[in-house]
Amino acid sequence: MMGFGIGRMGLAFRGPRPTPSWVTPGAAFHIKPVSGWSWLKGREYTSWSALLSDPTAATFSRPSEAWALTSAGNFTLFPSGTPAVTDLGLLVEPAETAVGNFSLQPEAWGTTGTRVLVTQNQMGAFSFDAIKIAGDGSSGSHSIAGGQQNFTFTSGNTYFMYVIASSLSFGCFQLVAASAAFTSQAYSNFDMNGNGAVGTKGSSVSSSGIIKLTEGRYLMWMIAPCISTALGTLTFGLVPASNSPRLASSNSTSSVIISGYQISTASHWGSPIEVQGTTLVSRAAVEFKIKPLAGTYNLTFKFGDQIADQVLSAVAINSTGYPIPIDLNGRFITDIFGVAA
């Protein structure tokens, strides 16, 4: 029978705790990464450290550092093995390998572009390693190449390429892949105003998109198959319209701040990976396992990155626990709860 007793530590509660008020009604377990609250096996944990210090409740692994996005459109660096939790949620993603050259340090690219003025030491998404590029007003194309040197694109791979940039004045932006590897039709246009909009793209681009990270700052991406192994880089251009041809001529005086870029063979944008040389750099997959009572559950995942709730039905969980999938629809988890099926 459930009751109360007095022990050496004072009043002790015997038997299961009542379900906390924050737990979703009917849920057998509930985890809220942003607040750090968890409810598992009738036990309440009020911090991540408390949860992960109990191996009978949950385990976590990510043997590499990770940059995680915040609602302010900035990225916070989390050391290897530390859960990447921001106000958007817990970052859960697969392993990824990136290629590039000073991908998160545009200051290292130098100050030479094509008809652009380059200003270093700008505040960007990763602190003061960003650059501002501004069209110099002369007639012609206006652009800058990413990195200090070219790197290898491999034939047969399909690459996911993105740039993080902030608009300082009205204009459109173009992301351009190396023509030797992708053809001259590997480019995409973006309108960096308001919520952002996707413009036209070259015929070698499979798809493209834009994500508003915060007011004026965007993540702009495109996917393209590499048709020839070749050295190259990404080029970032200021163009007159969202339907501009590749590196269109204009008298642009538009300006943007570039925080960084990423190139990998992923199918979805992932957290930034810092590549300083020209060799591949990898980020490990997240391994987060929860250990509720064994049973069959309908699981609900809520996300902080503007993705609709995802439900996995009739998931059987045994006594060894349940690894949270790394390929969910969203990357930033705010809630995980299970209701007995």
**Type of residue found at 121:** N
In this structure, how many other beta carbons lie within 10 angstroms of the beta carbon of residue 146? 24
Cβ-contact 225, 206 below 8 angstroms: yes
pLDDT at site 1: 36
Query: Where along the chain do its domains lie?
Result: 17-95+285-304+313-340, 104-283
pLDDT at site 13: 28
Which value, in Å, is the radius of gyration of the alpha carbons in the chain? 24
Cβ-contact 223, 182 below 8 angstroms: no
CATH number corresponding to 104-283: 2.60.120
Q: Report the alpha-carbon angle 42-46-52, nearest 5.
A: 80
Taking the alpha carbons at both ends of the chain, their separation in whole angstroms is 28
Residue 19: helix, strand or coil by DSSP? coil
Residue for token pair 């990763």 = 126
Around 257, how many Cα atoms within 13 Å sit in the side-chain half-sphere?
Answer: 17
Residue 109: helix, strand or coil by DSSP? helix
Cβ-contact 247, 93 below 8 angstroms: no
pLDDT at site 16: 57
Around 14, how many Cα atoms within 13 Å sit in the side-chain half-sphere?
Answer: 8
In this structure, how many other beta carbons lie within 10 angstroms of the beta carbon of residue 155? 11
Closest to 32 (Cα-Cα) out of 301, 247, 306: 301
pLDDT at site 127: 83
* Residue 220 DSSP class: E
Burial classification of residue 94, based on how many CB atoms lie within 10 Å of its CB (0-12 exposed, 13-18 middle, 19 or more buried): middle
- How long a stretch of residues is the chain? 341
The pTM is what?
Answer: 0.90
Q: What is the mean pLDDT of each run of 10 residues along the chain (341 residues)?
A: 35 55 96 96 93 96 96 96 97 95 93 96 91 97 95 96 92 95 98 96 98 95 98 96 97 96 94 89 96 98 95 97 96 97 96
Cβ-contact 66, 91 below 8 angstroms: yes
pLDDT at site 306: 87
pLDDT at site 222: 98
pLDDT at site 14: 29
